[in-house]
Amino acid sequence: MMVSNITLNGKTTQGEPVCSTNNNIFVNVNELKYEKRVLATDGDIQSFHILKMNIQEHGMLVPIVIDESYNVLSGSRRVTIAKSLNIQKIPAVIVNKDLNEAQKAKLEIDLHLSSRRMTYLEISLLIFELHKESVAKRKTVLELAEYLKCDIRSIHSKIAHVKSFHKLSPEVQSILCEADSREAIERIVFANISYLNLNFNLFEKEILPFNMEDITNSKLKSILNKLKQQKNEADRNKTIDKQMAEIEQKTDNALFEITDLPPVKKIETPDYFQASKIVLQYEIKNLFNQSMDEKEILEAEALKSTYNINFSKEIELIKSLLH
């Protein structure tokens, strides 16, 4: 049985039985046994298509990992892509079938890093996938941190960053993965990821039209200021939404607590309740200068008059929150 040599921070150490370098082979994709991965999120789908484009353009640079029975231990997405591109044979590494999960995770990282073609973000994506699949438990995460020459907090930080990275369009993802643009873009992505969560369209508008060398410190500052303004606006809107929810709840409670009205009025209460909601929505739209058609305006004004509905106090309260 062969024992793998694992390079860790420039030092070569003898690891547990993993694989032999002589076991690197090309295998027929039709002979492989694997479970096709379900792409659960938009991020999964986008990263799948990016990987497919890379394989289509450059070929499969990183081998899959299989055991002696041709069960795929790592690389099911690459097998799926190879089949879709009608690639007959792909590189593979045969490993001992008794590998534990931690050994598989280390081997996966080792294979990717040894290819010397991974960017900072691609490494983060790999760590995220291992973490998501419960392969990278705490002990293994520490080992991964040692591989990448960073502490445990940085690993978890990268996992958080890459979740936001998944939300970007494929075009922006491809820019972020470009080696020559990494330094400029990382200053935005990794230092200001919470702002990017607010509006990725702004990010695309501000970044895509410019070459990386055109992104100066002043340009970065301008982008970040816009993102901060959006954050403040979003926070304010959340406060307004919360206040409006409380107002609606109080209105609902007040309407349902009417018990001493004459019988005829009690029968009309549901109509009054519905009318109040329509008028309240109208008043809010009017406050924020939102467009309304003539029919909507006439209906709301008619209901205000018919049911004598008045939300002036509530509207004044909302106005005070805006200042």
CB 34, CB 72: distance < 8 Å: yes
280-310 confidence digits (pLDDT tens): 888 878 877 788 888 888 888 888 887 788 8
Mean pLDDT of 203-217: 45
5-223 CATH fold: 3.90.1530
Query: Which of 58-72, 87-101, 179-193, 223-237 has the lowest average pLDDT?
Result: 179-193
Contact 119, 81 (CB under 8 A): no
Structure tokens at 270: 């549901």
Query: Would you state the pLDDT for residue 147?
Result: 55
Give per-residue pLDDT as tens, 9-21: 233 333 333 333 3
pLDDT tens, 76-130? 888 888 998 999 999 888 877 666 665 665 665 555 554 444 455 555 555 555 5
Average pLDDT over residues 209-224: 49
String of DSSP letters for 71-104: BEEE-HHHHHHHHHTT--EEEEEEE-TT--HHHH
Of how many residues is the chain composed? 323
pTM score above 0.75: no
- Domain map of the chain by residue range? 5-223, 231-321
Are 165 and 40 within 8 A, CB to CB? no
Position 214 pLDDT exceeds 60: no
CA atoms of 155 and 158, how far apart (whole Å): 5
